[in-house]
Amino acid sequence: MAVDYKERIPNNVSLHEDRRLQRALEEWQPRFLQWWADMGPDGFQARDVYLRTAISVDAQGWAHFDYLRMPEYRWGIFLAEPDPGRTIGFGAHRGQPAWPDVPGEYRGTLRRLIVTQGDTEPASVEQQRQLGRTCPSLYDLRNLFQVNVEEGRHLWAMVYLLHAHFGRDGREEAEALLQRHSGDRDKPRILGAFNEKTPDWLSFFMFTYFTDRDGKYQLASLAESGFDPLSRTCRFMLTEEAHHMFVGEAGLGRIVQRTCEVMRDHRTDDVRRHGAIDLATIQRYLNFHFSVSIDLFGGEISTNAANFYTAGLKGRFEEAKKADDHALAGATYAVSQLDGDRIVTRDVAALPALNERLRDDYIADCQRGVDRWNQTVRKHGIDFELRLPHRGFHRAIGLFSQARVSPDGRVVSQAEWDARQGEWLPTENDKSFVQSLMVPVIERGKFASWIAPPARGINGQAVDFEYVRG
Ligand code: BYC
């Protein structure tokens, strides 16, 4: 399915056949570009960046690399190829043909899911707006911008659905997506993690590892949707999302690598003196980003989640691979809960526990990267292990938000929390130390003191390629 690049809005949905829709989106386009100019990467809009652009959605065509100024990136509308015989895979409508249009009874619910998803995309661009100014290398700078333009495209993906399928309400929601802003006192973004700051590159890599990975799991669940345009949109978004998580995993891996090299070469734990980030600080940042990211899955027990599933709107991760009835009416699922000052696991009804099940899949996936970073630590003969904190640690949403839980999963008193939170979460000292390292490195092939170079460059290019020029 080739993408039509002659159109003002590149697309593979035959936009020219629906003039009204095309006009409505063309009216939204300048407002998007204005938002990009006001809220997108600050200071680099005139630079040539070695970017990947989709030119078709099949395996060969979706990764085309060239220099481009970011405002000229061809943000467009790309849906994965249709599967003509697709049926709904779960819930009360299981086995029925997938819906090409929004079923009237689910209109409000679907709109809300799409708006919540759509809201995160521009939010992350806003959060990362200033990072270019302190990039650790041209290679990393280019990766930041690749992530940013694709998040912009993911906003387009959701806005297309709103315009094409939700009439006037959808157009109003599309406007509102440009009016809410990350951290804005009056009009904040919808979900908590998207109102946090991303003030430094350690936070950026944590964000792309942990928060973009929430994106992967939410998009994968929405890719199961009975509403076929949503499913096809999310399937294509997932192909782009993989790169964002790679940026996070490899970025954190390179930071750990550098820290270990300094520890070994200088035979010291005091790596800060040598411009590297100590493992204890990395652990505290990890604790923070993991905890705010697992909040994004919603409450452990959620009737919303049960209703989304039964209605056929949002499935499980890899729904088709689950060997059960895909209706879950009488099924149970084990969920960790608070019982006074203990944490216990209880079997509860599976349907309202679907947020927790998705969170479990996500946590297992997060652990894989942590294991790889720990291999690096071990290879350097260092006695330290990075760990995911307990799921109850530092939660603002769900059952655990009512308690104080330590990273090792003990319910602790407020007094213990107050006394020890400096061991568990980034301190002001950590933040200002990390900030002090954020000095731009823009010489070709050079890297900041706190991060190792990558093993290889982008798209077969050398590590010292001029990824951003001009
Ligand atoms: N912050 O029944 P509950 C991504 C609200 S990231 C604030 O437990 P539900 C990306 C909730 O709205 C993926 N409020 O939750 C990553 C509800 O409000 P009402 C984004 C929250 O509805 C990096 C109430 O609390 N995708 O793509 O089952 C870069 C009770 O909620 C939060 C999606 O989110 C929170 N964290 O599930 C770029 C997918 N959590 O009804 C992009 C679409 C809950 O009382 N969204 N609330 O007014 C969903 O599937 C669901 O809305 C959620 C929450 C999973 C978010």
Closest by Cα among 126, 130, 128 to 184: 126
Nearest atom (ligand 1) to Cα of 117: 26
pLDDT at 59: 62
Three-class SS state of 149: helix
CA distance 319 to 223: 10
Which residues have any ligand 1 atom within 6 Å of their CB?
A: 113, 116-117, 120-121, 124, 151, 191-192, 211-212, 214-215, 218, 295-299, 302, 304-305, 314, 355, 397
Q: Sorting pLDDT into bands at 50, 70 and 90, what band is 54?
A: confident
- Among protein residues, the one with the nearest Cα to ligand 1's atom 12 is 298
Average pLDDT over residues 23-35: 97
**Quick check: 446 pLDDT over 70?**
yes
**With 90 as the cut, is the pLDDT of residue 62 above it?**
no
Residue 46: the pLDDT is: 95
Atom of ligand 1 nearest to the CA of 123: 38
Kindly give the distance from the C-alpha atom of residue 87 to the centroid of ligand 1, in angstroms, as a whole number: 26
Q: Are 178 and 95 in contact (CB under 8 A)?
A: no
Percent of the chain at pLDDT above 90? 92
Please give the C-alpha separations between residue 229 and each of 8, 94, 162, 334, 350, in angstroms, as whole numbers.
21, 17, 11, 33, 27
Residues 6+ apart with CB under 8 A from 94: 87, 88, 312, 326, 327
Residue given tokens 């980030």 in the structure block? 277
At 63 the pLDDT is 73
Q: What is the mean pLDDT of residues 430-434?
A: 98
Check pLDDT > 80 for residue 241. Answer: yes
Confidence band, pLDDT 50/70/90 cuts, at residue 6: confident
Report the pLDDT averaged over residues 202-220: 98
What DSSP state is assigned to residue 67? E
Flag whether the pTM goes above 0.75: yes
- The predicted structure's pLDDT at residue 61: 62
Confidence category of residue 192, pLDDT binned at 50, 70, 90: confident
> How many CA atoms does the CB half-sphere of 221 hold within 13 Å?
23
Residue 239: band (very low, low, confident or very high) from pLDDT cuts 50, 70, 90: confident
Span 300-356, pLDDT tens digits:
999 999 999 999 999 999 999 999 999 999 999 999 999 999 999 999 999 999 999
- Residue 191 CA to ligand 1 center (angstroms) comes to 6
pLDDT in tens, 390-408: 999 999 999 999 999 999 9
Counting atoms of ligand 1 from 1, which one is nearest the CA of 296?
36
Closest-CA residue, ligand 1 atom 34, reads 117
Q: Pick the range with the lowest mean pLDDT from 65-69, 239-243, 434-438.
A: 239-243
Question: Mean pLDDT, to the nearest integer, of 153-159?
Answer: 97
User: What pLDDT was estimated at residue 53?
Assistant: 83
* d(CA 17, ligand 1 centre) in Å: 35
Q: Over range 4-33, report the average pLDDT.
A: 92
pLDDT band at 470 (very low <50, low <70, confident <90, very high): confident
Q: Look at residue 272 in the predicted model and tell me its pLDDT.
A: 98
pLDDT digits (tens, 9 = 90+) for 113-128: 999 999 999 999 999 9
Contact (Cβ atoms closer than 8 angstroms) between residue 337 and residue 399: yes
Those residues whose C-beta lies under 8 Å from the C-beta of residue 241, and which sit 6 or more positions away, are 212, 215, 216, 219
Query: pLDDT of 365-390, one tens digit each?
Result: 999 999 999 999 999 999 999 999 99
Atom of ligand 1 nearest to the CA of 398: 8
Please say if the pLDDT value at position 102 is more than 80.
Answer: yes
Alpha carbon of 303 to ligand 1 centroid (Å): 13
- In sequence order, the β-bridge partners of residue 279 are none
pLDDT at 56: 66
pLDDT surpassing 80 at residue 414: yes
Give the pLDDT band (50/70/90) at residue 75: very high
Which residue's alpha carbon is at the smallest distance from atom 20 of ligand 1?
117
Closest ligand 1 atom number to CA of residue 305: 28
Number of the ligand 1 atom closest to the C-alpha atom of 300: 8
- 178/37 Cα distance (integer angstroms): 12
Task: Report the chain's mean pLDDT, rounded to a whole number.
Answer: 96
Which of 209, 296, 357, 402 to mutate to test ligand 1, by most ligand atoms within 8 A of the CB atom?
296
